[in-house]
């Protein structure tokens, strides 16, 4: 009996070592980069990011209201969670106005990882990269 358990443990450890050799843990990012670019003529004074996670048992919202200033033409990187994130609401404001956008993204751990770029124009936000897609609300 002890020999059987010992053999099973040896096989399990060997499998784990092989997996770690082929798929190094350091190559898997633990978060999704969101780069906010200020393409407006005003200083951005607030960036708010709300991540909504929906699981079979409950819905959770996580909001990060970050009072950051981003000068015109500059950018700042924020990091989003990678698991169980169903949607993101990004809200950006400056002294003249604000804009918000709801979006989803696909996080590809092996080979498909790319940053999400959100460009704030002062009147709107455009997304590119990171397999991000705007969620269009139909209020009709």
**pTM of the predicted model, to two decimals?**
0.70
Asked if residues 85 and 59 have their Cβ atoms less than 8 Å apart, the reply is no
User: Would you state the pLDDT for residue 26?
Assistant: 45
Asked if residues 68 and 93 have their Cβ atoms less than 8 Å apart, the reply is no
Let me know if residue 44 belongs to a domain: yes
pLDDT digits over 82-110, tens only? 666 678 899 999 999 999 999 988 776 55
Separation between Cα atoms, residue 22 and residue 89, nearest integer Å: 36
- pLDDT confidence tier of residue 3, bands split at 50, 70 and 90: low
Q: How many domains does the chain have?
A: 1
For residue 110, how many C-alpha atoms fall within 13 Å in the half-sphere facing its CB? 4
- pLDDT confidence tier of residue 29, bands split at 50, 70 and 90: low
In this predicted model, which residue has the larger pLDDT, 130 or 38? 38
Let me know if residue 4 belongs to a domain: no
Q: What's the whole-number mean pLDDT along residues 5-22?
A: 50
Let me know if residue 2 belongs to a domain: no
Separation between Cα atoms, residue 47 and residue 33, nearest integer Å: 15
Please give the residue range of the domain that contains residue 45. 29-134
Let me know if residue 36 belongs to a domain: yes
User: Would you state the pLDDT for residue 14?
Assistant: 53
Q: What's the whole-number mean pLDDT along residues 38-63?
A: 77
């Amino acid at each position: 009996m002890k020999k059987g358990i010992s053999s099973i443990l040896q096989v399990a450890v060997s499998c784990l070592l092989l997996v770690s050799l082929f798929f190094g843990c350091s190559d898997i990012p633990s978060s999704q980069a969101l780069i906010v670019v200020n393409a407006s003529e005003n200083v951005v004074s607030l960036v708010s990011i709300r991540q909504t996670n929906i699981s079979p048992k409950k819905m959770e919202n996580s909001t990060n209201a970050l009072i950051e200033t981003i000068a015109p033409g500059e950018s700042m990187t924020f990091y989003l969670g990678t698991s169980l994130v169903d949607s993101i609401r990004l809200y950006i404001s400056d002294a003249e106005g604000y804009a918000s956008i709801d979006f989803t993204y696909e996080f590809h751990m092996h080979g498909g990882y790319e940053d999400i770029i959100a460009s704030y124009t002062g009147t709107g936000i455009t997304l590119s990269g990171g397999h991000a897609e705007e969620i269009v609300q139909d209020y009709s």
